[in-house]
Structure 1
């Protein structure tokens, strides 16, 4: 499915709160934070000229988040950042002095953090980030997962010392349960989706993702003409769309939001022009994007700053994984998980659709930017779909 943005707010100015959180100042804040994180380096931006030529476009660039902060996913930028910011704020209030990211290892900060519990729901990657942030400060993390989250992904979160809670139902059910329990017990909810009266913390999570655009634009030889970014509840898509809007204004790249056809809550919200929760259907291979209730905070940005909304089939995602694992001669091999490859899956779907391709003006001069949002966070599943172990691809 393909839909051009027809919302009344399309191309209007971003909400002032979103400019503050996701614009240049927000990107500056996460950049300063990352400068204090041990062993942090910008993730690579790969150029794939061979695949670009095969697809009939001018250039193709992929930002590879499969190497971010040891977690293998872009989510490493969001949850941990929000946890650390919230703990620093609590410590600053208690200690009566201003604190910055440089104070993360101050014993007094860790004493305050030790009395805090951070909770969230996750499909896997966001929970790992929240758990990592809590572990860095000596705080406690309680992570809620639904039945579709693999045991391997649960174990990857638990390795950071988090308490794991299984919830019957979907990701959205786990969001509700995490919020309910956290509210009852006085824990801090660090969700990557928003709801009425709860925007600041999801905004901090999204602010973390702006680092991807900041780094990528510095690494590219020229401004991209097109951007395809995948969405679950919409956080990363909104963060990158806001960066493109505040950086380039009316000259920004054409921005497309990609979702699994089996879990296209953003697409339906764009079609109806309002936030809507869609029915739970058959699971998608793009498990990290299997969300049925969009984040209103993300939609507020995307209604203004996205140009198109589209869906990809599971077969598109598997094809994209395999194209990246078995590259055209001269291109680098990239380990992209099922959800990580969704941006390329969306591009492939558009290029097979003459109407969509024409609407987005994709041609031999187009410079396309994608994000591999995760590596093989479930290695067994990756090997099943690609026929190669992740280590064989990365060798």
Structure 2
């Protein structure tokens, strides 16, 4: 399903939004994170996929591969850590902490009694646990019934205390807030709700780094965006808001056409576009795209998305699995890539549109330059192998062969 957003406008980035998230603040976040020891790849690659572009009928497909930035294999490593750093700096101004030293664990003794808590579908909790372990504070993670044991183990490996509940992601968000109030802990969530927006803002701001790196990779002119279309994952809206706001501020009315894609049964952003306000999903929420299986739009994210996302669309789980297999296969000119279930929503949306009358409506044709973001690798290795039909290791071996042959 696809719907045009009637509130999307072409105008300069509003000052009231710049006061919340800005290119300048994203640059500061990037500088602070640049020396973090958890990063294995300081800048993630932007791959060109010419065979895929030819098959789809577009001029260019560019894919930003966030799976390789760290061992966490997810874009979330840019959000939770910077939010935790900014939280601690605000909470303990008397300690005069330095952000890079904080991430290096230099102030662990002073923070030994500080505890943060969050709900997660997997990747945000893992990133928060890793950041807390590096900094030296305590971390509690609330997992709902649909989070796999495999993902639970990956979070626990970073020293977090795990609390399991029945229900879905939204139920875990409410439980995390209740436990924080009861125990004097601090919620570090990637979704906002009434009275809670400062930390989600910082999480989203970290995601602007992805847009900054993608632009730098192509060395574009100041005036013209190198992408005509950008496909972004849905979820609660944080990634989309972080990246879209960056591109909107940078290019103003000349920003690219931006499309948000989410699972059909977890369509909170699609429904928000129809309602003209942040609202809930219409379906069961449960999806193979676990990182996007969210039932409630982040009101803070919606402040940004409402004015600059041109289209909202949904895809089926089967379309996501097909996109995973397509990237894993690679091609004569396309590098085989490991992309997890939530990583491929944008590609699934693009494939759904091409060859249909709606593609022309979006201006998608042989001249289009499309940016996709692969937000995660095989964060659940057993599930990845089941869905793709081979383990991630086999895809990586094929990738190495491809690179050697170039």
Partner Cα distance (1:295, 1:267) in 2: 13
Partner Cα distance (1:243, 1:348) in 2: 25
Residue 187 of structure 1 and its aligned partner are, at CA, apart by 0.7
Residue 221 of structure 1 and its aligned partner are, at CA, apart by 5.6
Partner Cα distance (2:111, 2:352) in 1: 46
Question: Does 2:148 align with 1:145?
Answer: no
2:281: which partner in 1? Answer: 278
Question: Does 2:264 align with 1:266?
Answer: no
Residue 358 of structure 1 and its aligned partner are, at CA, apart by 1.2
Aligned 8 A contact 1:32 1:101 in 2: no
2:194: which partner in 1? Answer: 196
Partner Cα distance (1:364, 1:221) in 2: 22
Aligned 8 A contact 1:213 1:240 in 2: yes
Partner Cα distance (1:106, 1:285) in 2: 35
Q: Deviations over 1:12-54 (max 9, x none)?
A: 5555453144321121111111223126311111110111011
Residue 68 of structure 1 and its aligned partner are, at CA, apart by 2.0
Partner Cα distance (2:178, 2:259) in 1: 34
Q: Deviations over 1:286-328 (max 9, x none)?
A: 1110001000011110001111111111111011101100112
1:69: which partner in 2? Answer: 70
* Equivalent position to 2:183, from 179, 185, 189: 185
Question: Does 2:338 align with 1:335?
Answer: yes
- Identify if the C-alpha distance between structure 1 residues 351 and 33 changes in structure 2 by more than 3 Å, giving closer, same or farther: same
Aligned 8 A contact 2:347 2:372 in 1: yes
| Secondary structure of residue in 2 paired with 1:22 | coil
Partner Cα distance (1:76, 1:39) in 2: 9
- Identify if the C-alpha distance between structure 1 residues 267 and 282 changes in structure 2 by more than 3 Å, giving closer, same or farther: closer
1:49: which partner in 2? Answer: 50
1:82: which partner in 2? Answer: 83
What TM-score comes out, normalization by structure 1 length?
0.95
Q: Deviations over 1:258-289 (max 9, x none)?
A: 01111100000001101212345162111110
- Report the RMSD for the aligned CA atoms in angstroms: 1.6
Alignment of 1:269-348 (within 5 A): 269-281=272-284, 283-348=286-351
1:6: which partner in 2? Answer: 6
- Identify if the C-alpha distance between structure 1 residues 286 and 239 changes in structure 2 by more than 3 Å, giving closer, same or farther: same
Partner Cα distance (2:155, 2:317) in 1: 26
Aligned 8 A contact 2:116 2:140 in 1: yes
365-374 vs 178-187, greater mean Cα deviation: 178-187
2:238: which partner in 1? Answer: 235
* Corresponding residue pairs, total: 390
Aligned 8 A contact 2:116 2:186 in 1: yes
| Secondary structure of residue in 1 paired with 2:378 | coil
| Secondary structure of residue in 2 paired with 1:46 | strand
Question: Does 2:254 align with 1:251?
Answer: yes
* Equivalent position to 2:386, from 376, 384, 387: 384
Uncovered stretches (5+) of structure 2, i.e. residues with no partner:
221-225, 398-406
Residue 69 of structure 1 and its aligned partner are, at CA, apart by 2.4
What TM-score comes out, normalization by structure 2 length?
0.92
Partner Cα distance (1:262, 1:244) in 2: 28
Partner Cα distance (1:17, 1:382) in 2: 42
Residue 184 of structure 1 and its aligned partner are, at CA, apart by 1.5
